[in-house]
Amino acid sequence: MAQRPLDVLHNSLESSVLVGLKGGKEYRGTLKGYDVHMNVVLQNADELKDDTAVRRLGVIIIRGDNIVFISP
Amino acid sequence: MAQRPLDVLHNSLESSVLVGLKGGKEYRGTLKGYDVHMNVVLQNADELKDDTAVRRLGVIIIRGDNIVFISP
Amino acid sequence: MAQRPLDVLHNSLESSVLVGLKGGKEYRGTLKGYDVHMNVVLQNADELKDDTAVRRLGVIIIRGDNIVFISP
Amino acid sequence: MAQRPLDVLHNSLESSVLVGLKGGKEYRGTLKGYDVHMNVVLQNADELKDDTAVRRLGVIIIRGDNIVFISP
Amino acid sequence: MAQRPLDVLHNSLESSVLVGLKGGKEYRGTLKGYDVHMNVVLQNADELKDDTAVRRLGVIIIRGDNIVFISP
Amino acid sequence: MAQRPLDVLHNSLESSVLVGLKGGKEYRGTLKGYDVHMNVVLQNADELKDDTAVRRLGVIIIRGDNIVFISP
Amino acid sequence: MAQRPLDVLHNSLESSVLVGLKGGKEYRGTLKGYDVHMNVVLQNADELKDDTAVRRLGVIIIRGDNIVFISP
């Protein structure tokens, strides 16, 4: 299985990640934690619309089942 | 896994949190409890539309599978 | 986990609760029972539209997976 | 848990029930059986639109995961 | 649980059944098999639109999680 | 359960099958493999629109939870 | 089960794959890893619209439950 998805996620801890959700919203922030459901914790999280920050959310827990992709 | 999502939730007990749902509704209130499904209990909960309180709901149980994000 | 969601539900037995569903429908009635899936039983249940009763349903079993929130 | 949802369903066997589905369709018929997933069997089932029978289906098995509510 | 849904399905083997799907499509055919997920196998299956056959599919496996109802 | 769905699938290996997805897309190709989730592998797969091939995809893995029907 | 879906995925490691998502978005990149949920890791991933790259994402983890198909 080579680079397993959760390993890639683990190696992204403390780095900036882009998280794309169903419906098109995206969040960018520093990955502070995750679990096996791919629920993630971001710090200094911005909500993006067309690559532009539209809202600063600070710390945010995103439920995995809304996530389409995570890009480290 | 560093700051696991449920740990972050636990540390937010008795604090004000913003809960974003599928479809765009948001609720703000004091986090009084949660479970492993991320079902949460809020107190003094307001339903928000565009950051404005449109309805006061008091105590509210929100089912986790509708939740997109929780921001402490 | 402080006030667990199912405990809050348990403490609401025999009280009036507001149940919000996906899609926006709401029901108000006396909570007579529930189970771990958050399936609930309401008595003297009214279907609401914009806070107005549009249909009286009497006893009603609501499946948990349609429920967004329950407000005691 | 007082009147558990499945107990209420059990007590409705051989009675007329109204079954509301996601999307708004409703069926009325005599409850002949059910299982733990809330799959139900109705007899003399009518498909309703705005409380009016639009189609007679006779015996019908309805899958639980489409059901929003069951009203005995 | 009286007439359990899967028992009713079992008793419909080799009979003509109407299968209604999410989104409104319906299929009619001879029930040749099923499993516990309510996946079904139909033979001489027609795809219906407003009760009219619009396509002959022959043998067809329908996944249970798309099924709203099965009417023997 | 007579002709179980997975048995019918098994007997269709190396044959041409039509796979209908949620949303209406369809694929036709040679069934090369499957698993218990009804994930399937097609070879020489064409994406169809109104029964016409609109794209040649070669080998394709289709996730079972998108599949509405498989017709051998 | 012949060529099981996960085996086909395994044999595509280090090769370019096309991943189609619910809603129509597609990604092309080098398959670097996967897990049993069909979560995948792509490298040099491009987001495509009508077969044209509209965004370069580099490394990307895609959650399996959004995936419709993977074409090696």
Confidence band (pLDDT; 50, 70, 90) for E49? confident
Tell me the per-residue pLDDT of C56-68, one tens digit each, with 9 for 90 and over.
999 999 999 999 9
Q: What's the whole-number average pLDDT of chain B?
A: 94
pLDDT of residue G1: 58
pLDDT of residue C7: 96
Judge whether residue E1 has pLDDT over 70. Answer: no
D7 in contact with E at a CB cutoff of 8 Å?
no
Mean pLDDT score, B26-36: 97
pLDDT of residue G32: 97
Judge whether residue A2 has pLDDT over 80. Answer: no
Tokens standing for B47? 């339903």
D60 in contact with E at a CB cutoff of 8 Å?
yes
D72 in contact with C at a CB cutoff of 8 Å?
yes
**Cβ-Cβ contacts under 8 Å, F25 against chain E:** none
Distance between E66 CA and the closest CA of chain D, angstroms:
9
Confidence band (pLDDT; 50, 70, 90) for D2? confident
Could you tell me the domains of chain A? Answer: 5-71 (2.30.30.100)
Contact B60 C38 (CB under 8 A): no
Decide: F and C in contact? Rule: 3+ Cβ pairs under 8 Å. no
User: Residue F3 gets which letter from DSSP?
Assistant: S
Judge whether residue C1 has pLDDT over 70. Answer: no
Mean pLDDT score, E37-48: 97
Tell me the per-residue pLDDT of A21-44, one tens digit each, with 9 for 90 and over.
998 899 999 999 999 999 999 999
Contact F34 G5 (CB under 8 A): yes
Distance between D57 CA and the closest CA of chain E, angstroms:
7
Secondary-structure percent of chain G, ordered helix, strand, coil, rounded to 5: 15, 60, 30
Contact D68 C35 (CB under 8 A): no
**Cβ-Cβ contacts under 8 Å, G67 against chain F:** 63
Strand partners, A26: A20, A48
pLDDT of residue G49: 86
Would you call B59 helix, strand, or coil by DSSP? Answer: strand
Tell me the per-residue pLDDT of E10-37, one tens digit each, with 9 for 90 and over.
999 999 999 999 988 999 999 999 999 9
Measuring CA to CA, which residue among B20, B1, B2 is closest to residue B72?
A: B20
Low-confidence ranges of chain G (pLDDT < 50): none
Distance, in Å, from the CA atom of D5 to the CA atom of C35, rounded to the nearest integer, reads: 7
Tokens standing for G8? 């086909």
Confidence band (pLDDT; 50, 70, 90) for A1? low
Decide: A and C in contact? Rule: 3+ Cβ pairs under 8 Å. no
Tell me the per-residue pLDDT of E4-15, one tens digit each, with 9 for 90 and over.
999 999 999 999
Judge whether residue B41 has pLDDT over 70. Answer: yes
**Cβ-Cβ contacts under 8 Å, F38 against chain G:** none
Contact A8 G35 (CB under 8 A): no
Distance between E66 CA and the closest CA of chain F, angstroms:
6
pLDDT of residue F25: 92
Judge whether residue D6 has pLDDT over 70. Answer: yes
Q: What's the whole-number average pLDDT of chain E?
A: 94
Label residues B46-59 b or e (16+ Cβ within 10 Å = b).
bbbeeeeeeeebeb
Contact E39 F5 (CB under 8 A): yes
Per the CB < 8 A criterion, the answer to whether F39 and F64 are in contact is yes
Q: Which amino acid is at E7?
A: D
Question: Which residue carries 């780095």 as its tokens?
Answer: A15
pLDDT of residue B51: 83
Tell me the per-residue pLDDT of F22-62, one tens digit each, with 9 for 90 and over.
988 999 999 999 999 999 999 999 999 888 999 999 999 99
